[in-house]
Amino acid sequence: MKQKTLMILTCLILLSGHVYAQKFQQEYGNARKAFVETIATPNHADSHYRLGEEATLKVVAREGGQPVQGTELRYKVGPEMFLPNTWNTTRFVDGVATINMGTMKVPGFLACQYEYQLDGKKYTDLVKLAYTPKQIKAYTTMPADFVRFWQNVLKEARKVAFEPVMYEVPDATNKQLETKLIRLRVGKNKWIYGYLTRPRDGKKHPVVLVPPGAGSNKIFPSDYFSHQGFVYMKIEIHGNDQRLPDDEYNAMRQKKCDGYMRRGMESKDTYYYKDVYVGCARAVDYLCSLPDWDGKNVIVTGGSQGGALSIITSALNEKVTMCAPFYPALCDLTGFLHQRAGGWPKFFTSWYKDGKVEIPQQKAVETLSYFDVVNFARILRVPTFVSWGYSDDTCSPTSVWAMYNEITAPKQCDITPTSGHWRFASSQAKCLEWMKKHLK
């Protein structure tokens, strides 16, 4: 009886605390804007400059709607990803601090990192400005046997049967859509998992493949493209069983996949990405074998590593009809050897864990030339929509422009200067509109 009474009293105390918390929250109110607001505006609205042209950055800060006064702003300016170690300083006057960023004499990006503190909290941002970006040239060279090498690799992979195994996904299935987790064999010793979501209307549809971003985390089903009338497969690239409990999965993937982007770099035949690239191309073959494919339209889209794999897959597989990468990785990988920003994984840098190269530099350069997205862009033949931002410090805009300038296929770019390694909803909507416009 005493135990029951104690439990009741405990519940009442917790409930009482919850009620008081609710009242306090209602009294406190929910702010609809940040108390400290910052916006940085370059003197060219589009963030584009001619060589030799001086750039300034105006940083406006308001605290509760009042201009910040007298607060120190620290900043450093330099070529993208090669900022100096020392900071310069200025101060806010009537809420405005002006930074003279200088200029550039060669095509590329000038970057400014700034920060300031109010009431013990730090506010920071990164702004990059483009200098004649259409003139950025890739440092990546194409091996003489590049096309032949990949044709042979794909030809061998196509000799292997898919051996698909499907698993029900009840939580992602309803009257309108069916979702299944599928395991596919996409090479002699290569498997992938993917979530296949398709409309349940008995009609034929375009197919969409979405390769993953970097890492080996679990993927999850999505209904975005299927609600637009597409058969949609979202894949992982390591053959990791998505049904495993999280603890077991995380332990497994860390042991199996850590540092995968550097594995086997001694040779183009042993590099980890070889089976990944051709595996994505084979995933397209599988989608095109489905009875509800419309027989015409094949789209590949993804972001970061998934953006890189979108371009690569579209260049390798002749069935692809549209390519839509966002902020693609693995572009112009040797840029850092020329004191210019390259693409993720930032090979040949000493300040980024994934960029460590533990084999002779020339051997790494030779291998990577077969895997650099720049060379796949050079052989791309389908309409391509590329979206990226300038504040991205993961996949540098310099490297993306270097790749984009090599595309000779019909292309469209969507640039949002203030976005980093992410996209605005408007960019995704613009991409979807572009896809529908280019459907056969």
Range 273-297 average pLDDT? 98
* Buried-state track 286-317, b at ≥16 Cβ within 10 A, e below 16: bbeeeeebbeebbbbbbbbbbbbbbbbbbbbb
SS3 labels along 45-66: CCCEECCCCCEEEEEEEEECCE
pLDDT, tens only, 339-367: 999 999 999 998 878 788 999 999 999 99
**Catalytic, out of 216, 304, 310, 399:** 304
Q: Which residues contact 434 (CB under 8 A, 6 or more apart)?
A: 324, 385, 412
Residue 352, by phi and psi: left (phi above 0), alpha (psi -120 to 50) or beta? Answer: beta
Sole residue written with tokens 């090979």: 347
**Catalytic, out of 226, 372, 421, 427:** 421
Distances (CA, A) of 359 to 35, 165, 283, 332, 363: 50, 38, 32, 19, 7
Range 97-119 average pLDDT? 98
Is the per-residue pLDDT at 240 higher than 70? yes
**What's the chain's average pLDDT?**
93
**314 belongs to the catalytic site:** no
pLDDT for the residue 21: 45
**393 belongs to the catalytic site:** no
Strand runs (DSSP E) across 272-359, as ranges? 293-303, 322-326
pLDDT, tens only, 290-323: 999 999 999 999 999 999 999 999 999 999 999 9
**304 belongs to the catalytic site:** yes
Is the per-residue pLDDT at 82 higher than 90? yes
Is the per-residue pLDDT at 42 higher than 90? yes
Range 266-272 average pLDDT? 97
Is the per-residue pLDDT at 329 higher than 80? yes
Cα separation, 276 vs 280, in Å, equals 6
Tokens representing residue 230 in the block: 């597409």
Q: Which residues contact 152 (CB under 8 A, 6 or more apart)?
A: none
**Catalytic, out of 275, 332, 392, 414:** 392
The pTM assigned to this predicted structure is 0.92
Lowest-confidence segment of 20-29, 187-196, 328-337, 351-360 by average pLDDT: 20-29
pLDDT for the residue 33: 84
- Please report which confidence band the pLDDT of residue 234 belongs to, taking 50, 70 and 90 as the band edges: very high
